[in-house]
């Protein structure tokens, strides 16, 4: 049966009336507290489940992984170190970002393979160094 707020009966004494109101308020607060505990309890996902769903979402998507503005600032900063007063077309920066993200994704794939070969799940800097060395890149 559902809990409901009890009715307050009128009494002649003020002391008895305040006592009855206090009893009802205490019961109401206790019931409210019990209901709120159940409502705020969140379900926790199994370890690794959220990471797997994130991986699946990112594999399905085609948008860029890095934000455009920070990447643009980085490109302009590196270019400024080499030669000042350079200007970039937006298509050029987009092409640089596409190429750099494709390179990084491939490098991380190879790094993951190196970690799996070492019978580990976690990638380490030595895995990335080995992947770059196998590719024939200078370190």
Task: List the pLDDT tens digit at each of the 139 positions of the chain.
Answer: 667 777 766 655 666 666 666 677 777 777 777 776 656 667 888 998 999 999 899 889 989 999 999 999 999 999 999 998 999 999 999 999 999 999 999 999 999 999 999 999 999 999 999 999 999 997 6
pLDDT at 40: 64
**Percent composition of the chain: helix, strand, coil (DSSP 3-state, to 5):** 65, 0, 35
Give the span between the Cα atoms of 116 and 131, in whole angstroms. 12
User: How do the domains of the chain map onto residue ranges?
Assistant: 64-135
Q: Calculate the CA dihedral of residues 128, 65, 72, 112 and round it to 10 degrees.
A: 0
Give CA angle at 132 (131, 138), nearest 5°.
160
- Spell out the CATH class of 64-135: mainly alpha
pTM: 0.65
């Amino acid at each position: 049966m559902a809990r409901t707020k009890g009715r307050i009966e009128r009494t002649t004494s003020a002391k008895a009336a305040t006592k009855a109101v206090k009893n009802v308020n205490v019961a109401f607060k206790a019931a409210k507290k019990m209901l709120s505990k159940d409502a705020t309890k969140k379900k926790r996902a199994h370890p690794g489940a959220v990471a797997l769903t994130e991986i699946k979402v990112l594999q399905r998507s085609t948008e860029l992984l890095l934000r455009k503005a920070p990447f643009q600032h980085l490109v302009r900063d590196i270019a400024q170190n080499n030669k000042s007063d350079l200007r970039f077309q937006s298509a050029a920066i987009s092409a640089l970002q596409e190429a750099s993200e494709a390179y990084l994704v491939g490098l991380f794939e190879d790094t993951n393979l190196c970690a799996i070969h070492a019978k580990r799940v976690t990638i380490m800097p030595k895995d990335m160094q080995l992947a770059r060395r196998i590719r024939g890149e200078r370190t």
